[in-house]
A and B are shown apart, each in its own frame.
Chain A
C-alpha cells in the first residue's frame, strides 16, 4: 500500500 510516509523531516 502506498502509505504516505509521515513527515519525518522538519
Chain B
C-alpha cells in the first residue's frame, strides 16, 4: 500500500459517500444517471469475484464489501425507493449502456492476463469501469446544470483514478516486476474521459460560479 493508492481509495469512498448523502438528504436522484450506477454495480461484482477466495487484507476485504454493497444499494434506491425513483431523469438518461457492457466483455475475451474466468471478469471490470461514467456525463451535458453534490461526486470519482495512476507509476518505479498494463492504460483512458468535466469544474470553481456544461 502506498499513499497514492490510499488517497485514491479514500477519494473513491468519498465520492460514494457524497452520492449517498445527496440521495439520502435530498431524497432525490435528479442529475444522477441510473445507468452509470448499474454499470458500477456490475464492475464491482465482476471485479471482486475473489472476495471469498483470495484474502489480501482486512482493509481490502472491507473496502470490497463496502463498494459492492453501496453500489447495489444506490441502484436499488434509484429503482425501488418510492420518493427517489420519482426524481429519476428517465428521459435524459438514454445512453445505450448495454453496448458498453458487451464491448468491454468482448475486449476482455481478447485482452486479459490469463484465460481464466476470474481474470476475464477482472479485465472486463477494468474496461467497463473506464467507460461507466459515459451515461452520467451525457446526462449532465443534456441537463446542463449540475448541482453541487453531483458535481463533487463526479469530481471525486474522476480524481480517484488519477491517484491510482500515480500509484501505478510509484509501484513501477519501486517494485521490480510490477506491470499492470491493462489497469494502467484503462485507468488513463478513464481519467481522460473526465478531462472536459474537470476543466469546466475548475473554471466554475475559479470564478466561484455555478457549474455549467455547454449543451
Partners in one complex: yes
Interface positions of A (Cβ within 8 A of B): 2, 4-10
B38 at interface (Cβ–Cβ under 8 A)?
no
Instruction: List chain B residues, Cβ under 8 A from A4.
Output: 113-114, 119
B87 near A: Cβ within 8 Å? no
Residue pair B114, A10 in contact (C-beta under 8 Å): no
B124 at the interface (CB under 8 A from A): no
CA distance A9 to B6 in the complex (A): 10
A9 to B122 Cα, complex, angstroms: 11
Interface residues on B, range: 20 to 34
Q: Do B177 and A8 have beta carbons less than 8 Å apart?
A: no
- A10 cross-chain contacts in B, Cβ below 8 A: 9, 12, 60, 63-64, 67
Q: Name B's interface SS.
A: helix
Across the interface, which residues of B come within 8 angstroms of A9, CB to CB?
5, 164, 167, 180, 183
Q: Chain B residues in contact with chain A, CB under 8 A?
A: 5, 9, 12, 47, 50, 54, 56, 60, 63-64, 67, 113-114, 119, 122, 164, 167, 177-178, 180, 183
Q: Establish whether residues A6 and B54, one from each chain, have CB atoms under 8 Å apart when the complex forms.
A: yes
Q: In the complex, A2→B179 CA distance in Å?
A: 11
Known: A6-B56, A9-B167. 6 other contacts (CB 8 A): A2-B177, A8-B60, A9-B180, A10-B12, A10-B63, A10-B64
Name the CB-closest residue of B to A8. Answer: B56
Rounded to whole Å, the gap between the CB of A9 and the closest CB of chain B is: 7
A5 to B56, CA, bound (A): 11
Would you give the shortest CB distance from A7 to chain B, in whole angstroms? 6
Q: Please, which residue of chain B has its CB at the minimum distance from the CB of A9?
A: B5
Which of chain B's residues have a CB closer than 8 A to the CB of A6? 50, 54, 56
Bound form: Cα–Cα A6–B164 in Å:
17
- List B contacts of A5 (CB < 8 A): 177-178
Chain A residues with CB below 8 A from B12, complex form? 10
For the complex formed, measure the closest distance between the CB of B11 and the CB atoms of chain A, giving whole angstroms.
12
Query: How distant is A1 from chain B, measured CB to nearest CB, in Å?
Result: 11
